[in-house]
Every structure is written in C-alpha cells, then in structure tokens.
C-alpha cells in the first residue's frame, strides 16, 4: 500500500488505462498543458501528446458530445467537466444520447464514456459554483453514477469505469483532491456497484457518500466516546445503482438509520435510501429514519452563512442523539 493524494490516485488511474489501451483518451478544459484544475491529468499531455490529452474550448455541450460520439466508434474517452455546475450545459448529450443510445439502437451502439466532474461546496465559491448534482444524475436510467470518498476508491472506480461499456458519471468533491489515503501498489479495480462498511457498529447505521462519509466517521467517534452509541457507517460509493441489499443488511442489523448528504433534501439520495428502507426492511426499524442534509437554499457566498447552509459532523451527532431521546444530554 502507498499513501497518496486523491488527485494522484486519479492521475495514476488515467495513466495506467491510457498505457493499457491506446483508444483511451482524455478531454476537457485545461487538462492538457496546464495538467488539470485539480491536477488529475498532470504530466499526461507530455507523455501521450495532444491527440490523446485534448484541451477543449469552454464548451461543455460541444466537447461532451464529441466524446460521446467518439465512444460509438470504440474510443474510450474520459471527459473532465471542470465543475459539475457546468454539466448543465451538457445534459442533453449525457442524458438523451449517452444514457439512451444502447436502448434506442436495440443494442447496436454503446457509449463506453466516462464523465468526471467535481462538485460540492468548497469555501465561498458562490451559489453557481457550489452545486450538489448527484441526485440529478442518479435519476437517469442508463447512466451509472459513482462517487469516491477516498483515494483508493477514486483509483479503483475510475479504472473500472474506463473498462465498462456503460456510460459512467464519476461525482468527485472539490474538497477531497488533497486528501491522502492508502491505494494498493498493484493494479486494483473496484466494482461499479455495491457499498462498503467503513465502520462496523450495532446501534445505528449512518449512511453517507463522498464527503459525508467523513462526517459520519467523525460523528461515530464522538457518539462512541461520549455517549456509548456504536454506529455502523456505510459508504454508498455507488449511487446508481444503489446497493439495496447492503442497505437492507445494515438496517436489519442495527434497526436504526440516519442518512447524511451535503445536498438539499428534496428528491435526493436520502429520499431514495429511505424509500429502499421502507420497501425492504420497514418492520426491522426501531425508530423512523432520519435525514441530515443541507438547507433548501442556494449556497450563500458569505462564509458564515455558507457554513450554516450545509451539514457537518455535529449535525449528525445531534440527529442520532435525538433519535435515541438524548438530545438534551
């Protein structure tokens, strides 16, 4: 195991897959000469040249459509959209073409394309640069959605996504790129379906994904040390499809569930997880499930208001204590 940063894990996955298959290319704004806004393609332009590491114009719909079209012919593009906020400009290409072409062509065409994009709230970037759009992508049939919470997952999921014949959207978080973590020295692939038990527990399950996994882990430590509550933490790294069996297994074990997300609650990941719990293991519950999520407002630029708008580890602690009737203790 080597301890590397999140961006280094992504860069390593890019490099290995481009070495393995000459049809793997990268596309996006400033990914070539500049090495990428978050350094995920650093050095690849010099190694593979401008025909495989393509600096594109500021036209998300244009270069995303170009990459998807190339994938019909066997190319395997990794498209980086610099910020998920700008993915709105490529929605038609992603949702109406990549996600649907296999079904609408009767299986004659496939779109083995990977679209990576960072999102989330990252320190006073304002409402138009702080979108949490994973719930939009996970609602589109035909599109896989994964969201790595650590460098190992970032590496393994990207490698699996490149070799998948389905279109895959990888939802990263802007605050994670300098996060360090262990990644296997040998080549490693993480399946694009499932979830991981980040922490074993018996009293309540905390469900999180990407950055909220870390809030859950911090909350679990506090709840164990100060209140004697033993939390299980489930990392929902695959948002589409969600791991119904994994969700059911954990709730059937702990009999309580708290779902933690950075996004607004309406029509979100938490809503879908609660629906699965209701359908799969309602009679296992000892208390109603709880959602911890952002306020339903555009993210303010003001730092104090920004912090008030999004949840944190203490909000998770408070939600669990309330569930156990210990909110005032």
pLDDT in tens, 103-116: 999 999 999 999 99
Instruction: Decide if 232 is inside a domain.
Output: yes
- The Cα–Cα gap between 246 and 106 comes to 32
Which CATH number goes with the domain that contains 296? Answer: 3.40.50.920
Same domain, 200 and 245: yes
Distance of CA 82 to the CA centre of its chain: 15
Same domain, 115 and 86: yes
| pTM for the model | 0.96
Same domain, 30 and 165: yes
Same domain, 108 and 234: no
Q: At what angle do helices 313-323 and 211-227 cross, to 10 degrees?
A: 50
Residue 203, domain extent: 196-323
Count CB atoms within 10 A of the CB of residue 178: 11
Same domain, 154 and 15: yes
Same domain, 164 and 203: no
Determine the pLDDT at residue 328. Answer: 66
Determine the pLDDT at residue 329. Answer: 56
Q: For the chain, how many structural domains are there in total?
A: 2
Please identify, among 129, 157, 183, the residue that sits at the C-terminal boundary of a domain: 183
Same domain, 168 and 54: yes
Active site residues: 60, 129
CA-to-CA separations, 60 to 66, 115, 252, in angstroms, rounded: 10, 11, 44
Angle at 67 between CA 169 and CA 177, to 5 degrees: 45
Instruction: Decide if 221 is inside a domain.
Output: yes
Q: Which ranges of the chain have pLDDT less than 50?
A: none
Same domain, 273 and 170: no
Q: Are 231 and 260 in contact (CB under 8 A)?
A: no
- The Cα–Cα gap between 202 and 231 comes to 6
Instruction: Decide if 176 is inside a domain.
Output: yes
320 cis-preceded (ω within 30 degrees of 0): no
């Amino acid at each position: 195991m080597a301890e590397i940063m999140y961006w280094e894990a992504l860069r390593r996955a890019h490099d290995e897959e481009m070495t393995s298959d000459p049809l793997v290319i990268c596309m996006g704004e400033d990914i070539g000469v500049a090495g990428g806004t978050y350094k995920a393609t650093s050095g690849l332009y010099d190694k593979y040249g401008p025909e495989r590491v393509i600096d594109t114009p500021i036209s998300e719909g244009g270069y995303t459509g170009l990459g998807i079209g190339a994938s019909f012919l066997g190319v395997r593009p990794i498209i980086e959209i610099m910020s998920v906020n700008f993915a709105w400009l490529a929605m038609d290409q992603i949702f109406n073409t990549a996600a649907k072409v296999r079904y609408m062509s009767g299986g004659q065409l496939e779109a083995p394309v990977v679209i990576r994009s960072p999102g989330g709230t990252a320190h006073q970037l304002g409402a138009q640069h702080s979108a949490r759009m994973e719930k939009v992508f996970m609602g589109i049939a035909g599109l896989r959605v994964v969201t790595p919470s650590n460098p190992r997952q970032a590496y393994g999921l990207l490698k699996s996504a490149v070799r998948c014949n389905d279109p895959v959207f990888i939802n990263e978080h802007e605050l994670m790129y300098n996060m360090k973590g262990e990644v296997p020295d040998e080549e490693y692939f993480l399946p694009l379906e499932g979830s991981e038990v980040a922490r074993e527990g018996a009293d309540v399950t905390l469900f999180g994904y990407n950055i909220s996994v870390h809030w859950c882990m911090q909350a679990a430590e506090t709840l164990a040390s100060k209140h004697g509550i033993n939390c299980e933490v489930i990392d929902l790294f695959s948002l589409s499809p969600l791991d119904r069996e994994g969700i059911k297994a954990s709730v059937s074990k702990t009999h309580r569930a708290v779902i933690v997300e950075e996004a607004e609650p309406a029509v979100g990941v938490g809503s879908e997880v609660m629906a699965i719990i209701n359908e799969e293991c309602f009679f296992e519950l000892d208390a109603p499930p709880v959602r911890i999520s952002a306020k339903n407002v555009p993210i303010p630029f003001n730092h104090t208001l920004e912090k008030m708008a999004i949840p944190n580890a203490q909000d998770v602690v408070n939600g669990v204590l309330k569930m156990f009737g210990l909110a005032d203790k």
